[in-house]
């Protein structure tokens, strides 16, 4: 923007650091955005400023993690620069990449109308492969296999590279899953023959496209996206960052990339996210004039909450140094509630919610109860119901995952893409038409033998007269749907399919309360398709005129949890996991179950990296609170059917005492409450002590552990397994650890033990 040009009025809304992040438009930039620091404002104003500076909106690529975030971004930009904001390419990684692949997929051997497989589709494909290979379904667990394949794709490990990786193969052998590679190969092959991509493929196949660079496609998108912006960069995985670098980091590139994120809020390692991306970004672009802006003013929370968060996160070693501050005044101290039992914890939280509603005039939607695991919601639900407090549990079954909804969607998918094996499997005999499991098995056998889709096999196979007639009728039914693809919009065709397939009649015949609910769900789906047709349709935040069934299916396939469930939509107390709360804020937050082995989780306590991530999750949870923060724990709680006695979470000890007050429980005196508060003093920071090197420690599969074995534990050191007791899922090992002076014999549940077998 020339000095003579008038400066946009919206820049006056920014503090000096935000302004710097918005107006320094060229080259690489890292914006470290603390909680409540105006990150979204900086992103939207930066895009608006780029457009005001003469950058064409369609040359800007903005990548987010939810469609909701992209929509809000577009709306805010439009408020500054008008309707041209809708020409910006803004959306989730998956939706933007799917949009590119719709245009380019044929260059890598996929149809442009490829199906997008969800998690259930993937598990179904893997389950079929396991059955056909006559493998034990317990050993070859579909969830474990799905995670294994997802991890391989996210790290750019193709089946061919997997076969060359002795470490991966050895891990599979030790886990008694030596056929994992063969399953991976089969899975990739079947997705391709079905013209289907799973969510990982939307990234994996785009990288493949850019790497192979057929017909100069890489340069096409490098020229197209002159400016790239990435939100929540700390949540990216290895593959996402690899794609970003393909687009912006090459000889002669202007390196116009801006990433915004907070390493202290990196909490999705279990999904493949790596904090290393944001920690390495400055080094990766140091030779290209990188600028780092730290947004440290918190506009959300009072000083007590902010200072507590600052103090806790200092216990993590690997981080980008920053000091968050607030000018909202000290506010209320953080309340720590000690309950004798988990049941009492539920009651005291509900009592405190009632008290806060009356004292501070809070609406229900102003309040959130956060927990480490979804199973903890039960007790709080019970007490909120008793007190007639409306609540909503966030993270339940998605509308689009309900059986009757998936049944109709499968018919819609098969109409658009007949090669879709999973859609065909789901509907070929639903409603029943005389093509049972035996017949489907023969169809599958022919498809596998000739490496063709089930649809192609269906058109070639020959059965007895009755079954052949049913097959012929089904083929004609799907063909009749496909004939209407060109001249019917999504609603007209969807309603026609629902009727002619027999699904509506089947649901209407079930007059039970549950049956009525299922019929309502299908009608709600059809209503949603009608809205898609009649209203302005937004795909990747761009309004499009395409009202086809294919476009509708892509739209719903790429919905995220936040797009399907808005936790603030109703005036109800929100119950959700700490992971789900990221990006939200509430006037009052209750963070419950703060006990060792619950939060931090027992599954994350044996490595420094795991414990650091748990602490970042605690940091995220407490910074959701604007005014009131209540932390609670129970001395005893039922877990796995047994009463457990618990130590308070170490994170409570790390809170600054001057910002905390305790609430003493039933039967406790004020003096004992004061004594409790005195326990929460900043402890001396110390390195975690390990008797084995965490860098080289590799846990062995728990089912390999046997009595008499020598094993290594990160904390307890070398030990010998004395005996193993309990059932298959609850085996407990008694181990004598020679390096422990006091109480050298420890009983450890094997599935959580993380033991390395020694030679």
Q: Which positions are catalytic?
A: 39-40, 231-232, 265, 624
**Main-chain dihedrals φ then ψ at residue 458, nearest 5 degrees:** -60, -35
H or E stretch at 633: strand 625-639
Contact predicate 262/33, CB 8 Å: yes
On the question of a cis peptide bond just before residue 214, with omega within 30 degrees of 0, the verdict is: no
Query: What is the token pair recorded at 317?
Result: 């070693």
CA distance 501 to 423: 14
* Residue 317 DSSP label: S
CA distance 513 to 323: 56
In the Cβ-directed half-sphere of 88, how many Cα atoms lie within 13 Å?
A: 36
Distances (CA, A) of 101 to 243, 244, 617, 619: 14, 16, 34, 37
Q: Are strands 391-393 and 257-261 parallel, antiparallel or unpaired?
A: unpaired
Distances (CA, A) of 93 to 46, 104, 237, 275: 20, 16, 11, 18
Written in H, E and C, the secondary structure of 636-673 is EEEECCEEEECCECHHHHCCCHHHEEEECCCCCCHHHH
CA distance 349 to 630: 9
In the Cβ-directed half-sphere of 605, how many Cα atoms lie within 13 Å?
A: 15
What is 184-236 written as a DSSP string?
A: HHHHHHHHHHTTEEEHHHHHHHHHHHHHH-GGGHHHHHHHH-SEEEESSGGG-
Distances (CA, A) of 736 to 187, 689, 706, 723: 43, 19, 13, 10
**Nearest residue to 198 (alpha-carbon basis) of 277, 129, 275, 119:** 119
Contact predicate 628/588, CB 8 Å: yes
Opening angle at CA 264, ends 261 and 266, nearest 5: 70
Backbone dihedral region of 7: left (phi > 0), alpha (psi from -120 to 50 degrees) or beta?
beta
Any residues with CB less than 8 A from the CB of 673 and at least 6 apart, and which? 662, 663, 664
CA distance 67 to 70: 5
CA distance 383 to 460: 60
Q: How many residues does the chain have?
A: 759
**Nearest residue to 483 (alpha-carbon basis) of 497, 469, 467:** 497
User: CA 714 from chain center: how many Å?
Assistant: 29
In the Cβ-directed half-sphere of 438, how many Cα atoms lie within 13 Å?
A: 4
CA distance 51 to 49: 5
Contact predicate 13/41, CB 8 Å: yes
């Amino acid at each position: 923007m020339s000095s003579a040009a008038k400066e946009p009025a919206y820049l006056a809304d920014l503090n000096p650091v935000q302004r710097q992040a918005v107006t320094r438009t060229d080259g690489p930039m890292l914006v470290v955005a603390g909680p409540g620091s105006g990150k979204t404002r900086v992103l939207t104003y930066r895009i608006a400023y780029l457009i005001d500076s003469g950058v064409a909106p369609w040359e800007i690529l903005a990548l987010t993690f939810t469609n909701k975030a992209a929509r809000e971004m577009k709306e805010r930009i439009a408020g500054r620069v008008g309707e041209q904001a809708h020409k910006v390419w803004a959306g989730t990684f998956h939706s933007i990449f799917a949009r590119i692949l719709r245009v380019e997929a044929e260059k890598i051997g996929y149809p442009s109308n490829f199906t997008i497989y969800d998690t259930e589709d993937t598990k179904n494909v893997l389950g079929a492969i396991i059955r056909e290979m006559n493998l034990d379904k317990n050993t070859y667990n579909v969830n474990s296999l799905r995670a294994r394949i997802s991890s391989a794709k996210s790290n750019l490990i193709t089946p061919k590279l997997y076969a060359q990786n002795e470490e991966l193969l050895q891990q599979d052998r030790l886990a008694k899953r030596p056929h994992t590679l063969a399953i991976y190969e089969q899975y990739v092959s079947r997705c391709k023959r079905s013209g289907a991509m799973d969510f990982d493929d939307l990234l994996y196949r785009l990288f493949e496209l850019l790497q192979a660079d057929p017909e100069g496609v890489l340069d096409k998108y490098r020229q197209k996206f002159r400016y790239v912006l990435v939100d929540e960069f700390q949540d990216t995985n290895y593959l996402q960052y690899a794609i970003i670098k393909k687009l912006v980091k090459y000889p002669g590139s202007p390196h116009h990339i801006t990433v915004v994120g907070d390493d202290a809020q990196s909490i999705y390692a279990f999904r493949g996210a790596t904090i290393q991306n944001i920690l390495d970004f400055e080094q990766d672009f140091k030779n290209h004039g990188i600028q780092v802006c730290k947004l440290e003013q918190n506009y959300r929370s009072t000083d007590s909450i902010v200072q507590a968060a600052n103090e806790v996160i200092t216990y993590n070693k690997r981080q980008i140094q920053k000091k968050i501050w607030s000018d909202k005044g000290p506010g209320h101290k953080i309340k720590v509630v000690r309950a004798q039992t988990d049941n009492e914890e539920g009651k005291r939280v509900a009592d405190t919610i009632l008290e806060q509603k009356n004292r501070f005039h809070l609406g229900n939607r102003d309040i959130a109860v956060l927990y480490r695991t979804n199973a903890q919601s039960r007790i709080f639900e019970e007490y909120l119901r008793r007190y007639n407090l409306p609540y909503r549990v966030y993270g339940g079954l998605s509308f689009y995952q309900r059986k009757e909804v998936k049944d109709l969607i499968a018919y819609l998918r098969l109409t658009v893409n007949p090669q879709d094996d999973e859609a065909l499997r789901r509907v070929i005999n639903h409603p029943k038409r005389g093509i049972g499991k035996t017949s489907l098995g023969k169809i599958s056998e022919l498809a596998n033998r000739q490496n063709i889709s089930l649809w192609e096999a269906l058109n070639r196979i020959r059965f007895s007269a009755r079954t052949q007639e049913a097959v012929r009728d089904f083929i004609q039914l799907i063909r009749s749907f496909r004939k209407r693809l060109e001249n019917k919009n999504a609603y007209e065709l969807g309603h026609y399919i629902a009727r002619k397939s027999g699904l509506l009649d089947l649901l209407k015949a079930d007059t039970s309360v549950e049956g009525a609910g299922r019929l309502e769900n299908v009608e709600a789906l059809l209503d949603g398709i009608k809205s898609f047709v009649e209203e302005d349709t937004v795909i990747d935040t761009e309004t499009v005129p395409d009202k086809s069934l294919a476009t509708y299916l892509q739209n719903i396939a790429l919905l995220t949890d936040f797009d399907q469930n808005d936790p603030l939509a109703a005036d109800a107390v929100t119950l959700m996991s700490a992971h789900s709360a990221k990006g939200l804020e509430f006037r009052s937050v209750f963070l419950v179950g703060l006990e060792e082995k619950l939060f931090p989780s027992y599954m994350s306590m044996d490595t420094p990296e795991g414990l650091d991530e748990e602490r970042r999750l605690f940091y995220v949870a407490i910074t959701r609170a604007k005014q009131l923060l209540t932390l609670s724990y129970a001395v005893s709680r039922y877990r796995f059917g047994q009463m457990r006695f618990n130590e308070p979470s170490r994170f409570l000890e790390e809170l600054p005492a001057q910002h905390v007050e305790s609430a003493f429980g039933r039967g406790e005196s004020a003096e004992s409450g004061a004594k409790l508060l005195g326990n929460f003093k900043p402890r001396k920071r110390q390195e975690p002590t390990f008797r084995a090197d965490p860098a080289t420690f590799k846990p062995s599969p728990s089912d390999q552990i046997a009595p008499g074995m020598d094993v290594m534990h990160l904390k307890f050191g070398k030990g010998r397994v004395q005996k193993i007791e309990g059932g298959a899922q609850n085996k407990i090992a008694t181990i004598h650890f020679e390096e422990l002076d006091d109480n050298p014999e420890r009983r450890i549940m094997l599935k959580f033990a993380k033991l390395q077998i020694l030679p």
